[in-house]
Amino acid sequence: MENKVPIVPVVSSFSGLTMPVIGMGTASYPPVDAGTLKSAIVEAIRAGYRHFDTAFIYGSEQPLGAAIAEALNIGLIKSRNELFITSKLWCTYAEPDLVIPAIKMSLENLQLEYLDLYLIHWPLKFSKEVSRLPVPKEEVSVIDIKSVWSAMEECQLLGLTKAIGVSNFSSRKLEEILSFAKIPPAVNQVEMNPLWQQKELNEYCKAKGIHVSAHSPLGSKGTLWGDNRIFDCHALKEIAEAKGKTIAQICLRWVYEQGASVIAKSFNKKRMEENLEIFDWSLSVEELEKIRGLPQCKFNSIGTFIEPSAELEAQL
């Protein structure tokens, strides 16, 4: 099937990097079995998705790799080069000597020779393997970003990934990286949706040439940290009904109109297709104003993973 997802240029030191503006997320809670995930990804490729977002901690790298192999085998795509694959460095491996082994482990899981984008998942380091959630605060520290970023740069220089970036980083942490980086972050993947609009961070990233990619565009419904606020929002319901669209489509279109790419997760074939149908219409000035005025509230996924620590949060 012809790919119908627009491609967005990503400003970075790696000349010519582009990425599809909608990616399929592969994190799920509760986790689905590998066979179900693989089948969903194959269906997504059939529907026109070409950007897939995974991470070591999701446990989805191997099913994604198997789905890519099947898509090639049955002719849905002709080459791996047609896909844009993002994975992430987990906090347990956020040490300079562990970064290259970690990306190689992800590549082995994916059965790939390179990633298109490799992100630092959180600006945090865990002292040992996570055995329970939330992670005890004494096992969590702020990442030594200078040494870890140098190892990320080495990943790109070695050709293990085409580009490098970060996830869940504040403008303050980005400013720190930019003060010493030889290769600046190409992307910052953060929570972004009509109820957590990230206006200041988005403007900062645009000014610095860092592309924003939005995770949790629908509020992470069904996860430990998400809820139904997006789908219960009266203003979003009104806009969706007036336009004959779903609330999900309104949210995804809103993110797109902010200049960000978006990671949307659905394993339902109909919703997968609906999530791609956001490019032949737009939100009106009045609708954008209504969304701009919505009360803001972060869904706070980090609080699900680590015990509360005011000292730690002050450094992020």
SS3 content of the chain, % helix, strand, coil (to 5): 40, 15, 40
CA angle 213, 273, 118 (to 5 degrees): 30
- Active-site option among 29, 49, 58, 93: 58
Mapped onto helix, strand or coil, the DSSP state of residue 193 is strand
Rounded to whole angstroms, the Cα distance separating 222 from 231 reads: 12
Structure tokens belonging to residue 102: 């970690």
DSSP 8-class letter at 75? T
Active site residue 58: yes
215 is in an annotated binding site: no
Give per-residue burial for 131-155: e unless 16+ CB within 10 Å, then b: eeeebeeebbebbebeebbbbbbbb
Binding-site residue positions: 121
Query: What residue numbers does the annotated binding site for substrate cover?
Result: 121
Residues assigned a catalytic role? 58
